């Protein structure tokens, strides 16, 4: 029988052999066949095609929030890219406004974007509530506060959620892109030889063809009244072109889920008078208004500036968008003003309608996120579209971009294999599927309020289906519309004060049902801490301990909306938990910072977190050695218990010799708080390896490994997609 030592040497030799082969194969594959003969790392932004076609390592289609964030992240990580945008101007329709905790954490790393949003957003007391009422000046059924004390105490995150309109966010993103050297160009402005760092307005992506060198992307644009076409070559094309994604259709990816949950008209308007009234009388973010004349949801984007969006349900084909938006400006304002008047409860004299936009609510996720040999990738609404209930749409898209950026950068710089792009789909698609069903549950919860008032939307939809049925479709459209509106107005009569009062037995029953919904937290919620900070990847660029599974399969929870708190967790796939720490050996005046700040947003760098104990130092030395072999930047962080600054902490330098890229920190916790290891539910001889996107890739007991170097080669190989490691 072979000795254990001989067995291990043999394993290591096999592993070395496999690793060298797989790395050669991977790099060879990257620079030849599937990735073409053009090496995007050497691209100068010109040539590369059969004729003089601009070549870009990454071309992004769609300059919405997700496309812009991706271009910032890629540029910071050294990847050349440009963005195609079919519109000639950026939309000013506010749409998204709730920025969740995880997105704000990512924004902290974009040159102070989070702090700038906090300085510009309305004060939290003006938007922390959802208000349910008969009109903005009429009786209030309920008022729900969505902020908790822990949202402000920075225990689970260094930052809180925000309320900031999408178009204002876009402006801040464009400012950051300008600082990174981007320019926004109209079709007539873009002749020239430099193609990267451009936002090419008025360019619609119309075709995608694989070539030997990557992808040829066709665009059309209007120049001097004539449609013209321009081609681009790229190694990677990212479709961030929204819910009706052309990229998705061009590469034949289907969506799966529920369609047409609800049709709505979104009216963007200004009224300083309304803003000032609500600011003083009943400040809130969302106002759900139900009365016999109209039903709608008013989103207060900014009370001080009097900026609002009104969402009104509409039923096609009987109701048409033209019913709300006549071409004639006078009529357009009149129709909207009438609806606003019915919901507000008094005549506002300063309403200025800016825009009217129909939209349809779907709950769908793309069947694939990646196609064409890892070259075409979907992000944001192009990959998933959910009901906005809970504000997950843009947030999920921005977090897609964050997951993808370091993977593209690692692949293009040769650190990772092209297959790492597959891990983007493995990690992000399940999150979108989960967030879709959570948003549908939220949407249904929002509908529980009108249902309790006797206005069951399911009944409204059934009535609509009957009117659309073959039986009624023989009626002239005007009669169908009349019938529909007649039935709806009878339904809305349930909301009259005659019925809805404590003295009326039916009204009193409905009001008590409503109170129960609010008291039990069963109405629409704004915050989902367990999903916001606690979402976790189950498979992807993650490594389980040898022979083990990271996650045992769990029975999926039936009720996703059961409000669960965020519980810090340091298993592979989870976001690195936040804790305040102080750097040791730095000036004592230096402020505490978050463990999340140990990861740089400006470069690819992995992080190994250890306690100051022998076995973990040994593993850290081996990690540094293997990282060097893999050309992977790695930093080690040694977390010391609170009070270590008083002692002479100098063992790390000796223990980690000759490696210099390490930092000693101490916990900045209150005496009653948990230590880092307790917070992460780990023993102090465990170590964790954190990826550039702040998610944990691997965790192990430092004293349980037989051969540190062999184990670390396995870890880096698997995490970076260099094939299955032979053991």
Ligand X SMILES: Cc1cc2nc3c(=O)[nH]c(=O)nc-3n(C[C@H](O)[C@H](O)[C@H](O)COP(=O)(O)OP(=O)(O)OC[C@H]3O[C@@H](n4cnc5c(N)ncnc54)[C@H](O)[C@@H]3O)c2cc1C
Residues that bind ligand X (CB under 6 A): 61-67, 84-87, 95-98, 166, 204-205, 240-242, 246, 266, 359, 380-381, 388, 391-395, 397
Q: Which is nearer to ligand X, 122 or 397 (CB)?
A: 397
Report d(CA 339, CA 325) in Å as an integer.
12
Nearest CB to ligand X, comparing residues 54 and 568 = 54
Q: How far apart are CA 44 and CA 488, in angstroms?
A: 62
Q: Tokens 């032979």 identify what position? A: 726
Nearer to ligand X by Cβ, of 99 and 665: the residue is 99
> 444 phi and psi, to 5 degrees?
-65, -35
Question: Cβ(631)–Cβ(568) under 8 Å?
Answer: no
Shortest Cβ distance from residue 243 to ligand X (Å)? 6
The residue at minimum Cβ distance from ligand X is 64
Listed residue (695, 166, 61, 201) closest to 71, CA to CA: 61
Give Cα separations from 150 to 153, 156, 288, 520 (angstroms): 5, 8, 27, 20
Q: How far is the CB of 257 from ligand X (least distance, A)?
A: 15
Element (H, E) at 711: helix 708-719
Supply the minimum distance, in Å, between the C-beta of residue 423 and ligand X. 21
CA distance 44 to 56: 8
- Residue closer to ligand X (CB basis): 65 or 568: 65
Minimum CB distance to ligand X, residue 93 (Å) = 9
Q: Which is nearer to ligand X, 74 or 604 (CB)?
A: 74
The phi and psi torsions of 129 (rounded to 5 degrees) equal -110, 150
Closest distance of CB 489 from ligand X, Å: 25
Shortest Cβ 293–ligand X spacing (Å):
23
Minimum Å distance from CB 655 to ligand X? 45
What is d(CA 685, CA 610) in angstroms, rounded to the nearest whole number?
8
Name the residue nearer to ligand X (CB basis): 187 or 491.
187
Q: What is the Cα gyration radius of the chain?
A: 28
| Shortest distance (Å) from residue 378 CB to ligand X | 9
Alpha carbon distance 59, 237 (integer Å): 5
Read off the DSSP letter of residue 151: G
Strands 384-385 and 606-610 come out as: unpaired
Comparison of 359 and 551: residue with beta carbon closer to ligand X? 359
- Residue 12 or 230 having the CB closest to ligand X: 230
Largest CA distance in the chain: 93
Q: State which residue, 397 or 572, has the beta carbon closest to ligand X.
A: 397
By the 8 A CB rule, do 282 and 136 touch? yes
Q: How far is the CB of 410 from ligand X (least distance, A)?
A: 23
Could you tell me the smallest distance in angstroms from the CB atom of residue 386 to ligand X?
8
Q: Residue 406: count other Cβ atoms within 10 Å of its Cβ.
A: 27
Q: Is 199 helix (H, G, I), strand (E, B) or coil?
A: strand
CA 434 – CA 420 distance, rounded (Å): 22
Q: Whole-angstrom Cα distance, residue 612 to residue 641?
A: 9
Beta carbon nearer to ligand X, 98 or 288: 98
């Amino acid at each position: 029988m072979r000795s254990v030592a001989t067995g291990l040497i043999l394993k290591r030799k096999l592993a070395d052999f496999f690793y060298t082969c797989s790395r050669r194969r991977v790099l060879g594959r990257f620079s030849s066949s599937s990735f073409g003969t053009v090496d995007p790392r050497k691209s100068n932004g010109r040539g590369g095609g059969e004729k003089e076609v601009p070549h870009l390592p990454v071309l992004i289609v769609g300059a919405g929030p997700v496309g812009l964030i991706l271009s910032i992240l890629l540029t910071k990580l050294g990847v050349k890219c440009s963005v195609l945008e079919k519109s000639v101007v950026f939309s000013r329709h506010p749409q998204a406004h709730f920025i969740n905790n995880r997105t704000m954490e990512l924004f902290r790393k974009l040159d102070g974007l989070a702090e700038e949003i906090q300085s510009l957003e309305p004060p939290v007391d003006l938007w922390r509530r959802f208000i349910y009422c008969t009109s903005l000046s009429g009786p209030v059924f309920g008022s729900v506060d969505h902020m908790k004390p822990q949202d402000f105490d920075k225990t689970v995150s260094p930052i809180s959620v925000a309320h900031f309109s999408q178009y204002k966010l876009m402006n801040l993103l464009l400012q950051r892109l300008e600082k990174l050297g981007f320019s926004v160009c109209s079709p007539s402005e873009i002749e020239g030889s430099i193609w990267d760092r451009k936002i090419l307005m008025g360019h619609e992506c119309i075709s995608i063809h694989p070539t030997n060198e990557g992808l040829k992307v066709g665009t059309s644009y209007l120049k001097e009244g004539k449609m013209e076409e321009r081609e681009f070559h790229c190694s990677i094309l990212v479709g961030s072109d929204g819910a009706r994604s052309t990229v998705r259709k061009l590469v034949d990816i289907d969506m799966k889920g529920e369609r047409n949950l609800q049709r709505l008209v979104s009216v963007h308007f200004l009224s300083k008078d309304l803003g000032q009234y609500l600011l003083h009388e009943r400040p809130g973010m969302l106002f759900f208004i139900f009365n016999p004349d109209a039903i709608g949801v008013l989103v207060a984007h900014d009370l001080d500036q009097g900026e609002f969006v009104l969402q009104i349900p509409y039923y096609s084909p009987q109701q048409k968008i033209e019913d709300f938006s006549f071409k004639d400006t006078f009529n357009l304002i009149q129709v909207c003003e009438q609806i606003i008047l019915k919901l507000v409860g008094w005549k506002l004299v300063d309403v200025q309608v800016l825009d009217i936009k129909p939209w349809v609510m779907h709950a769908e996720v793309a069947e694939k996120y990646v196609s064409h040999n890892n070259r075409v990738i979907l992000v944001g609404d192009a990959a998933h579209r959910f009901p906005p209930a809970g504000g997950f749409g843009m947030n999920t898209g921005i977090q897609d971009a964050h997951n993808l950026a370091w993977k593209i950068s690692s692949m293009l710089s040769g650190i990772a294999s092209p297959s790492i792009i597959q891990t983007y789909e493995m990690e992000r698609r399940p999150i979108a599927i989960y967030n879709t069903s959570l948003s549908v549950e939220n949407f249904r919860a929002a509908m529980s309020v009108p249902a309790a008032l006797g206005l069951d939307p399911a009944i409204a939809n059934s009535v609509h289906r009957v009117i659309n049925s073959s039986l009624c479709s023989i009626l002239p459209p005007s009669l169908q519309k009349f019938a529909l509106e007649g039935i709806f107005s009878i339904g809305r009569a349930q909301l009259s004060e005659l019925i809805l009062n404590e003295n009326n037995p039916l009204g009193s029953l409905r009001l008590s049902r409503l109170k129960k919904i609010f008291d039990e937290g069963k109405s629409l919620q704004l915050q989902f801490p367990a999903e916001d900070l606690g979402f976790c990847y189950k498979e992807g660029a993650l490594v389980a301990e040898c022979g083990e599974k990271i996650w045992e399969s769990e029975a999926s929870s039936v009720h996703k909306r059961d409000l669960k708190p965020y519980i810090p967790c340091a298993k592979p796939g989870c976001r690195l938990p936040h804790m305040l720490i102080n750097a040791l050996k730095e000036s004592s005046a230096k402020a505490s910072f978050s463990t999340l700040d140990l990861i740089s947003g400006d470069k690819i760098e992995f992080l190994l977190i250890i306690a100051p104990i022998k076995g973990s130092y040994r593993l850290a030395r081996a990690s540094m050695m293997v990282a060097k072999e893999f050309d992977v930047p790695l930093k080690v962080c040694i977390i010391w218990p609170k009070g270590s600054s008083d002692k002479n902490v100098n063992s790390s330098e000796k223990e980690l010799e000759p490696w210099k890229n390490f930092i000693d920190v101490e916990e900045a916790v209150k005496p009653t708080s948990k230590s880092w290891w307790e917070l992460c539910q780990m023993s102090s001889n465990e170590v964790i390896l954190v990826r550039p996107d702040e998610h944990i890739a691997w965790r192990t007991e430092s004293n349980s490994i037989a051969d540190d170097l062999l184990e670390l080669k396995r870890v880096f190989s698997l995490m970076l997609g260099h094939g299955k490691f032979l053991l």
